[in-house]
């Protein structure tokens, strides 16, 4: 194994952890210093010297393992890492619909690097050398911002390619961006994503989405589909998600 895994002993209820933080940093001195400081403050820390730990944890999600990425409350991520670089990891996690807060650590301090870090979906950015107190304060802030997260393990979260839909929160993320949908558009998308590949006729969609308050004709469905495409498709005139099935209706793929 290339990475090291060090986890604090299980804590009792009286000293409950403030959160579980994954620290990915190849420089041992920095990694150990950060891990120690966070543990002193009451965080549980998983320390890794390689980004592959993140990929491994991500893949453990389906097993319901308590060592999966779902159990992580925040990630502190170095940019210059062996094998997979931090920016690529960050971008990859966001593409997978992961909302775990990420703080990037880097020796690179230029404005450009900072902007790129935030653009790939990091929540915060700290330049080396940094004070551990500032780091701890920022981790606390990250966790406060994320105090009421929908657990990504929630089976009702729908994720297809670059679209993630959170039914209980009525939120939709498309290519890392949150989009605004009307209630009808949201329910349409939710229905489609719940039944990928199923073909829906316009009448079936009216029955499911509009119910008794339906006032228009089947063209109303087409109009809503067009609006939805404009919000979710990269190229609405050549849809990749919401496809027309000629003579039948629509399907989501
Ligand atoms: Ca490094």
Q: Are residues 47 and 137 in the same domain?
A: yes
Q: What is the pLDDT of residue 27?
A: 94
Q: With respect to residue 153, please indicate whether it lies within any of the assigned structural domains.
A: no
- Which residues does residue 56 pair with via DSSP β-bridges, in sequence order? none
Q: Calculate how far, in angstroms, residue 17's C-alpha sits from the geometric centre of ligand 1.
A: 27
To which residue do tokens 């399907």 refer? 251
Q: How much distance in Å is there from the Cα of 147 to the middle of ligand 1?
A: 29
Q: How far is the CA of 49 from the centre of ligand 1 (A)?
A: 9
Ligand 1 center to 151 CA (angstroms):
30
Do 120 and 37 share a structural domain? yes
Number of structural domains (the chain) is: 2
CA of 26 to the centre of ligand 1 (A): 5
207 C-alpha vs ligand 1 centroid, how far in Å?
56
Is residue 174 located within the same domain as residue 229?
Answer: yes
CB atoms within 10 A of CB 53: 23
Residue 220 corresponds to which tokens in the numbers above?
Answer: 């109303």
Q: Which domain holds residue 87?
A: 6-147
Q: Would residue 152 count as lying in a domain?
A: no
Distance 166 CA to ligand 1 centre (A): 35
Claim to verify: residue 67 and residue 93 sit in the same structural domain: yes
Closest CA to 64 of 155, 174, 184: 155
Q: What is the pLDDT of residue 146?
A: 61
Residuewise pLDDT in 10s, the chain (253 residues) = 344 444 444 444 345 578 899 999 999 999 999 999 999 999 999 999 999 888 888 887 666 566 678 888 999 999 889 888 898 999 899 888 888 899 999 876 666 677 777 778 888 888 888 999 999 999 998 888 765 444 444 557 888 999 999 888 889 999 989 999 998 899 999 999 988 888 899 988 988 888 766 677 778 899 999 999 999 999 999 999 999 999 889 999 8
Ligand 1 centroid to residue 3 C-alpha, Å: 14
For 25-111, list the strands marked E by DSSP: 44-48, 74-78, 102-106
Specify the CATH number for the domain of residue 130.
3.40.50.2300
């Amino acid at each position: 194994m290339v990475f090291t895994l060090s986890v604090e002993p299980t804590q009792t209820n009286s000293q409950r952890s403030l959160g579980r933080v994954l620290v990915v940093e190849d420089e041992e001195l920095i990694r150990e210093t950060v891990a120690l400081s966070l543990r002193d403050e009451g965080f549980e820390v998983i320390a890794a010297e390689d980004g592959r730990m993140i990929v491994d944890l991500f893949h453990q999600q389906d097993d319901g393992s308590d060592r999966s990425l779902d159990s992580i409350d925040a990630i502190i991520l170095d940019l210059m890492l062996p094998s997979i670089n931090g920016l690529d990891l960050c971008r990859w996690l966001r593409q997978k619909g992961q909302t775990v807060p990420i703080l990037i650590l880097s020796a690179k301090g230029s404005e450009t690097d900072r902007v790129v870090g935030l653009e790939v979906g990091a929540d915060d950015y700290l330049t080396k050398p940094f004070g551990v107190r500032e780091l701890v304060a920022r981790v606390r802030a990250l966790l406060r911002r994320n105090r009421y997260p929908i657990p990504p393990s929630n089976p009702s979260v729908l994720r297809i390619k670059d679209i993630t839909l959170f039914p209980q929160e009525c939120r939709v993320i498309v290519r890392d961006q949150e989009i605004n949908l009307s209630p009808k558009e949201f329910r349409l998308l939710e229905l489609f994503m719940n039944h990928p590949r199923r073909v829906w006729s316009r009448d079936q969609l009216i029955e499911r989405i509009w119910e008794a308050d339906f006032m228009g004709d089947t063209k109303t469905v087409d109009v809503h589909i067009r609006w939805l495409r404009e919000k979710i498709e990269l190229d609405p005139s050549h849809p990749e998600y919401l496809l027309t099935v000629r003579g039948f209706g629509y399907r989501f793929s």
